[in-house]
Amino acid sequence: MDTPRVGGLFCLEDTGEQGPIGDGDFFDRLGGGDRRLCLSGRCAMYYCLLDLKQRDDKGVAYLPAYTCETVIAPYKKAGYSLLFYDVSPEGLCPQFNRDLIPRISVLGLCGYYGFSVYDRSFVEACAAAGVAVIHDVTHSVFSGDGIEPRADYTAGSLRKWIGIPSGGFAIKRRGTFSLPLLPPEEEHIRGRLACFAEQARVLRQEGSEDRVNEIFWDTELRLRRIFDAYDSDGRSADIITCYPFRELYARRRENYAFVLSQNPFGSRTIPVFPQLDEGVCPSHLALYSKDRDAAREILKSRGVTSTVYWPFHEEVDLGDFPGARYIYDHIYSVPVDQRYRAEEMELLCRALGEIAKVL
């Protein structure tokens, strides 16, 4: 029997010969509006901003200081000036400044790791003042409270959830998108498929994890250089049509709840979200460790691959954002997704318990 492992990239989802087996149109869970599939979440965000910019003369965006560089990049490429709000390490709660509402024209909003704890009244105040709201639901797309109803645009990616070549999606809540999408960027899709194929070889103990990482980063960094409002591909659309998302939701919640019930943590490993609220679909189990690098090495030595979402990218001056600084320095995450069952979650708990013994 193969040694159980936790972590690593997804393999390409198999739609098989069975046709649609999913739980209805993926977009149904996101609400109404004009809807598009895109090459990536970054491309989807840029597509929304291109549409918004046609009526936005102010061009000032208000974004979280704790975010991915790939979220900031579309705003910069679309010509927006940027202001940032801090995020509290306690529950990753945004720290909005209401005095800035007259200065901004768009609020960039998101939840983290499936949990959405932002001040809904602030969003309402922005909407009442004519500030557009773009909700990045990459982390919260399957959570019951993860879709902001006041948002003008909803955008995100499924690549952290399933093995899919083109994971982006964009929705304009009122009206229709005024610009066409560019054709799919075929070289990027070929790179994604090659990465999936090598990951499948790794799981058969035939491939190289170093090669997986090489292909992944060559493909990812190229997209960061050339991204635009690219369309999705047909294979990705088929995966979204066929995927059983209810099973994804149930398994992730079950796995997250199991780890919490075992309480394998300690003063050296602190869960960012120590409770699983009703309706939340976690993307990962997010953790804080003072010595993050050492904690991740312990996990790796015991068969658990962790990820840092996100390494600090120098797009934000953290001098004014102590909460974000702490998060960037200490946060990392481990998978609890639908690929895993009790055996893997028990392995994960044992590995987390070792951190307290060693550090």
Full set of structural domains in the chain with CATH: 26-172 (3.40.640.10), 186-226 (no CATH), 245-358 (3.90.1150.10)
Place of tokens 């799981």: 203
The whole-angstrom separation of Cα 334 and Cα 283 is 9
pLDDT at 358: 83
pLDDT at 16: 63
The whole-angstrom separation of Cα 195 and Cα 217 is 10
What stretches in the chain show pLDDT beneath 70? Answer: 1-4, 16-24
pLDDT at 24: 59
pLDDT at 287: 98
Non-local (6+) Cβ contacts of 65 within 8 A are: 84, 85, 86, 87, 316, 318, 321, 323, 324
Peptide bond into 217 cis (omega under 30): no
pLDDT at 328: 98
First-to-final CA distance of the chain: 31
**Partners of 153 in the β-ladder:** 134, 172
**Chain centre distance of CA 113:** 7
pLDDT at 2: 52
Q: Answer for the pair 151, 132: CB distance below 8 angstroms, yes or no.
A: no
**Chain centre distance of CA 269:** 22
Q: What angle do CA 165, 169, 175 make, to 5 degrees?
A: 155
State pLDDT tens for residues 183-198: 999 999 999 999 999 9
DSSP 3-state of 186: helix
DSSP 3-state of 280: coil
